[in-house]
Amino acid sequence: DAGITQSPRHKVTETGTPVTLRCHQTENHRYMYWYRQDPGHGLRLIHYSYGVKDTDKGEVSDGYSVSRSKTEDFLLTLESATSSQTSVYFCAISEDPGSGELFFGEGSRLTVL
Amino acid sequence: KNEVEQSPQNLTAQEGEFITINCSYSVGISALHWLQQHPGGGIVSLFMLSSGKKKHGRLIATINIQEKHSSLHITASHPRDSAVYICAVCRTDKLIFGTGTRLQVFP
């Protein structure tokens, strides 16, 4: 199994509080992605990174920020959580999504009350 | 209209049946991925395709680049194949996902 871990796996928080989710990989893969999965919507891209300090927005990036200061870590931050951000968040990694395999973390379930 | 469409959305089958799940896309891509997600579980990669056909055990995946279409076949289906199957296309480093096909295989 690819070395990819997400933390925390479960979190309950209140509206307006900041939240940071961490994705850690031991594969030294270049690409890292953050997705959210909601019923009826499938997986939607929030942000992704194609190298240290190189990030780009996805289709649902509003209200989220990311940072990648090291190859192995990709952080997703909700500056002020809202109930609409209640979701399951998945991290994915790949050396090259156009020619290589994808590996997913186990998911982080976030509930914003 | 979604850039990646899967059909059917839901599928039920009896054990042993041959299963086909379809994925159509409307954009230029460099690769297409088939993924599997068990209920309450994580997501695992089944195949990465850029052309032709791949086979792994009872699973077969094909892609027709000209027609912008891919299929995932499961031969001799088994209850443990019950899962959501997700198609994802790679376009300029970004992955675009279909909404998935929920498969239930009954004994």
Q: What does the pLDDT profile of chain A (113 residues) look like in tens digits?
A: 669 999 999 999 999 999 999 999 999 999 999 999 998 788 899 999 999 999 999 989 999 999 999 999 999 999 999 999 999 999 999 999 888 889 999 999 999 99
Closest chain A C-alpha to B45 CA, distance in angstroms: 6
Q: Which residue of B has its CA nearest to A57?
A: B94
Phi/psi of residue A15, each to 5°? -55, 135
Tell which residue, A33, A27, A23, has the closest CA to residue A3: A27
The Cα B48–Cα B53 span in angstroms is 10
Residue A70 contacts residue A52 (beta carbons within 8 Å): yes
Q: How far is A40 from chain B (nearest CA, A)?
A: 7
Q: Cβ separation of B95 and A102 shorter than 8 Å? A: yes
The answer to whether the CB atoms of B43 and A90 lie below 8 A apart is: yes
- Tell me the pLDDT tens digit for each residue of B11-55: 999 999 999 999 999 989 999 999 999 887 789 999 999 999 999
